[in-house]
Structure 1
Amino acid sequence: MFDKNLDEMTEADAEKLLLRIAPRINEHAAAVAEQCGRLPIALCAASSALKAKRSLSPEDYLKRLRDKKERLKLHDEVRNLTVEACFSLSYELLNEELQRRWRKLAIFPTDFDAPAAAAVWQTDVEAAKDALAELEEYSLLEWEETARRYSLHDLAHDFADTRLSATEREQTGLLHAAHYLQILSTADDLYLKGNEAIAGGLSLFDNERVNIEAGQEWAATRFTGDEQAARLCNRYAGYGVYVLNLRQHPRDFIRWQEAALYAARKLRDRRGEGTRLGNLGNAHRSLGEVRTAIEYHQQALNIAREIGDRRGEGIGLGNLGIAHRSLGETEKAMKFTEAALKIFEETESPNANTARSWLEDLRGKS
């Protein structure tokens, strides 16, 4: 195994190595070290190249290093070894199944836990832990004891990504997106339990946010031609609506809801379409775009009536009441809120109390 070449150096040691070989790197040492992932073989190759090629400025070389393919081509003249070849040597020591599993880890944009690896590998968690431990022995995986999470070094990620076939990328992307949809749903469920569970739900979302967003993006960029992706895209906007409301900027929230709206329409999911329209109305109202919000709420109301969804009809009417109140249109707000209250009472909805309170306030202003 080739642990020395694949073991990450400290930031200070990495910069010291670069400057010892090529002093002219100067103030660019930190940036070059970062692009090289602080791996000895990459650092030696980069500094040697800058030492030998005097016409190549550190600034121009940094631009090259930002291309992952160029980083993998870094060549250490002393060892006569490229970064890619160095990873290949360790990769080829793995059996075929472990190779397959390792390259699938490139689907993770950031660190991950054992259950997530098990999900994309379609195996149980204990078997996943055994395989992850073996990959760590080959210096192909990093383990963070405190957080109890795994990660691929940036350059290892680049290498693994080049080994993924198109079919593997799509299959693994689907599994990754489906797993993190469930994580998002769990975060929302915890939040809805209230009390101490609220912090747990928000913490879970925060810890997994990068992977959750990657899962939603995967689904959102594929739903037009893939029914499974469309279902995932539709659900991402609904399964986490409460934590998303708290954690996302309204514009990001709108982007997710718009993608889900198009997915719901593709799936002919009228109830889902109505829900997404209502969420978009609320988001635009929070931005002060009340007229736009009213348009969305009216569309949501029309769908609720069309499919006989009394609960959705009540919510749509209530949202229209809130929107018109925001514009100071008290009479319209009262009309919609009274209609909403009637439905909430008929359906024994807990929203009835809120509607009564709103109505009393509106009557006091009329």
Structure 2
Amino acid sequence: MSDLPDPARRAGAVKNAIGLRRLLLVIDDAWELDAARLLRCGGPHCCHLLTTRNQELARAFAGPTHTLAVPTLAAGPAFDLLCALAPEACAADPPQAQRLAAAVGGLPLALELVGGYLAAPERTYFADLRHEALTAVSDPAGRLALACQRLGSDGAPVTLEQTLALSLADLPAPAVDAFHALGAFAAKPAAFDRPAAEAVSGADGRVLALLISRNLVERVGDEEVGREGDGEGLALHQVLADFARTRTLPEAIARHRQHYLALVNEDRGDWQRIEAVYPQLLHAWQRQTELAPDDETLVTLADALNRYHLLRGLRRDELQWLEQALRVVQHKQDQRETARLLNNIGAVYDDLGEKEQALAYYEQALPLQRQVGHRWGEATTRYNMAMVHMALGNLDAAVAELEQVVAIDEAVGHPDLESDRA
């Protein structure tokens, strides 16, 4: 066979050798249509099974009615496969192993690479080495760097990142740029709609359709993005999101944040609409805390989501957002904003029933309110302190604070004067 230099003649020789035998010929991991067609060299009694990530190639090879999308593994089977591949590591820390299986989204190739890494003898003999190995592959960069032998790679190991890059190899530059820009989105199970994808990536529907055809972007149900009947729900597989983020530009991350922040600001009380995109907002907040923890954008996000957190009872989430915002304004030495956020954090602890903690934050806010001369803010904080003292049974302290509130209301002409007197 090697004496035949022409691929077509080699295919003919294989077909002649097969003759009338009944065989199933598997053409695995195809990336080029011409090569796949050359390998379709069975006789009249043969069947051909082709696997590929390229939907366009699959349809051209077999026709639309003979193509089948194979789903990734569900959580249970994915964890079972990882346990079968690396039993010692999974037994060392089952919860972390489960999180790892979820992090790769049930992708068999990724599970195989991770399992092979964890099962290496030098990582299984001692408990501390097993834990170190689990930690190493919990990092997306570590997973993308895992390598294996691949057919056609001339014996050189090929990393997971290099394998995924094959899906981008012959795409036009705008499609490649759009894919990496989509790395700004939260991965599955979060989803996003077409307008969001276009706003963040700058791509049009044709480019997005091309990415879908390469299985780089998935279509999901309308209900997963809070829309009805438009069929434009999209999602990124976890491993593909990790790959996309290796080249996601800061501008795309900013556009993602701005898109969802604008949606919230259209109506901060529309909790149902916000809830549908909250995974993306949470992702935007997390990315901002990682990339620019002292940026005032974190204050803007906390303020924008304040009402949603209140309406949905997500007070612990709100505490995290407010405490991060507090660190931002303290870093900038903004006393007025520091006082406001201390008061707001106190109010959250108050609602959670943690009265002593609430009082501690109010007591930090009060001198700052007085220092910057924010009398209305001082009145609000003193009123909040009075309510906490009352709840704790400190009636004398509560009355003293309320008297101060009335005095401030009289001095500044506060609209709540009469109710505070009552």
Counterpart CA distance in 1 for 2:357 and 2:101 is 49
What does residue range 160-309 of structure 1 map to in structure 2 within 5 Å? 160-164=244-248, 168=249, 170-186=250-266, 189-191=267-269, 201-223=270-292, 230-247=295-312, 249-309=314-374
Q: What letter matches 1:9 in structure 2?
A: P
Return 205-214 or 335-344, whichever deviates more.
Answer: 335-344
Task: Kindly provide the CA deviation profile for residues 221-247 of structure 1, in whole angstroms up to 9, marking residues without a partner as x.
Answer: 4556xxxx5211122222222222344
On the 8 A contact 1:44/1:76 being kept in 2, the answer is: no
Shift of 1:91: 0.6
Per the alignment, in what secondary structure is the counterpart of residue 296 of structure 2? helix
Task: Kindly provide the CA deviation profile for residues 76-123 of structure 1, in whole angstroms up to 9, marking residues without a partner as x.
Answer: 7567676544432221222223212211212222322234334433x4
Paired position in structure 1 for 2:13: none
On the 8 A contact 2:146/2:160 being kept in 1, the answer is: yes
Counterpart CA distance in 2 for 1:209 and 1:241 is 13
Paired position in structure 2 for 1:144: 220
On the 8 A contact 1:45/1:77 being kept in 2, the answer is: no
Counterpart CA distance in 2 for 1:102 and 1:232 is 25
Q: Kindly tell me: are residues 283 and 35 of structure 1, through their superposed partners in 2, closer, same or farther at Cα, counting changes over 3 Å?
A: closer
TM-score, length basis structure 2: 0.61
Segments of structure 2 that go 5 or more residues without pairing to the other structure are: 1-29, 32-49, 54-68, 91-97, 125-129, 225-231
Segments of structure 1 that go 5 or more residues without pairing to the other structure are: 192-200, 360-366
Counterpart CA distance in 2 for 1:254 and 1:46 is 36
Match status 1:100 vs 2:165: no
TM-score, length basis structure 1: 0.69
Q: Radius of gyration: which is bigger?
A: 2
Q: Kindly tell me: are residues 4 and 298 of structure 1, through their superposed partners in 2, closer, same or farther at Cα, counting changes over 3 Å?
A: same
Q: Kindly tell me: are residues 46 and 286 of structure 1, through their superposed partners in 2, closer, same or farther at Cα, counting changes over 3 Å?
A: closer
Q: Kindly tell me: are residues 241 and 355 of structure 1, through their superposed partners in 2, closer, same or farther at Cα, counting changes over 3 Å?
A: farther
Counterpart CA distance in 2 for 1:312 and 1:326 is 21
Match status 1:322 vs 2:398: no
Return 258-267 or 80-89, whichever deviates more.
Answer: 80-89
Paired position in structure 2 for 1:109: 186
Q: Kindly tell me: are residues 243 and 342 of structure 1, through their superposed partners in 2, closer, same or farther at Cα, counting changes over 3 Å?
A: farther
Shift of 1:290: 3.0
Shift of 1:284: 2.7
What does residue range 38-187 of structure 1 map to in structure 2 within 5 Å? 68=140, 69-70=142-143, 73=146, 75=148, 83-110=160-187, 111-121=191-201, 123=202, 127-146=203-222, 147=224, 148-164=232-248, 168=249, 170-186=250-266
Q: Kindly tell me: are residues 275 and 115 of structure 1, through their superposed partners in 2, closer, same or farther at Cα, counting changes over 3 Å?
A: farther
Counterpart CA distance in 2 for 1:312 and 1:204 is 32
Q: Kindly tell me: are residues 267 and 45 of structure 1, through their superposed partners in 2, closer, same or farther at Cα, counting changes over 3 Å?
A: closer
Shift of 1:128: 4.1
Q: What letter matches 1:135 in structure 2?
A: L
Q: Kindly tell me: are residues 314 and 119 of structure 1, through their superposed partners in 2, closer, same or farther at Cα, counting changes over 3 Å?
A: farther
Match status 1:340 vs 2:405: yes
Task: Kindly provide the CA deviation profile for residues 123-165 of structure 1, in whole angstroms up to 9, marking residues without a partner as x.
Answer: 4xxx54443223212221111142442111222223223344x
Structure with a larger share of its residues in helix: 1
Task: Kindly provide the CA deviation profile for residues 247-288 of structure 1, in whole angstroms up to 9, marking residues without a partner as x.
Answer: 465444333222211211333433322210101211233344
Q: Kindly tell me: are residues 355 and 217 of structure 1, through their superposed partners in 2, closer, same or farther at Cα, counting changes over 3 Å?
A: farther
Q: Kindly tell me: are residues 354 and 105 of structure 1, through their superposed partners in 2, closer, same or farther at Cα, counting changes over 3 Å?
A: farther
Paired position in structure 2 for 1:195: none
Paired position in structure 1 for 2:52: 5
Counterpart CA distance in 2 for 1:175 and 1:260 is 20
Q: Kindly tell me: are residues 343 and 132 of structure 1, through their superposed partners in 2, closer, same or farther at Cα, counting changes over 3 Å?
A: farther
Per the alignment, in what secondary structure is the counterpart of residue 284 of structure 1? helix
Q: Among the aligned pairs, what percent are the same residue?
A: 24
Q: Kindly tell me: are residues 212 and 338 of structure 1, through their superposed partners in 2, closer, same or farther at Cα, counting changes over 3 Å?
A: same
Q: What letter matches 1:114 in structure 2?
A: R
On the 8 A contact 1:304/1:310 being kept in 2, the answer is: yes
On the 8 A contact 1:72/1:159 being kept in 2, the answer is: no
Q: What letter matches 1:283 in structure 2?
A: V
Paired position in structure 2 for 1:196: none
On the 8 A contact 1:5/1:86 being kept in 2, the answer is: no
On the 8 A contact 1:220/1:233 being kept in 2, the answer is: yes
